[in-house]
Structure 1
Amino acid sequence: MYKLTGEFSQNTARAVEAAGSSMIAQGQFSFDLSGLERIDSAAVAVMIEWQRQADKQNRAMEFHDAPAGLLSLIRLYGLTEQFQLTASAGRH
């Protein structure tokens, strides 16, 4: 599982997207989001791109331990059904 940490925002989106895309190219489709601290809507856009990449390979992305702020953004944009998300018991 690929673990993302730190900021996932407009400031870091390109670098985070590139790192995640590299992992997808290597066959990794399970991402741990528990280490994310600062998130904005750019994170959702990048996740959509990763999902597209996985779809091209007929694979599903799995996003684990999504922080509450990210889950709220995904709900706000009506994308709950777009992603396979899990949240840990302590992060609601």
Structure 2
Amino acid sequence: MNAASGKVLAIEGELTMVTAAQWIERGRALVRAEDLVVDLSGVSAADSSALALLFDWMRVARASGHRVRQAGMPAGMRSLATLYGVDELLPAEA
């Protein structure tokens, strides 16, 4: 990850319906202030709420003139994004 491309928010553990709510406001606050790179390499389990969280942050970022990129998306989460047909909508950090 390139720290010059934005603030890095590293998420670890499960990112599911049970845990996503604890991240929503933190991510929103960050993307209102600057570009954000979401490091997902520490995510051990994810469901569709993880994708919804990323899209929420992207919406807030766009409204604030910023952007969100993701890095280290786990295979299971990537499979969900592909299944839902949204994988190409989630920009990855180069």
User: So what's the TM-score if we normalise by structure 1?
Assistant: 0.83
Q: 1:82 aligns with which of 83, 86, 89?
A: 89
Secondary structure of the residue aligned to 1:22 is helix
Higher helix share: 2
Count of paired positions: 87
Tell me which residue corresponds to 2:34. 27
Distance 1:86 1:27, change over 3 A: closer
Deviations 1:38-68 (A, max 9, x none): 1111101111101101111232211011111
Q: Does 1:58 align with 2:89?
A: no
| CA distance in 2: counterparts of 1:11 and 1:81, whole angstroms | 26
Q: Is there any run of 5+ residues in structure 2 with no aligned partner, and where?
A: 1-7
Taking only aligned residues, the RMSD between alpha carbons, in angstroms, comes to 1.7
Distance 1:62 1:85, change over 3 A: same
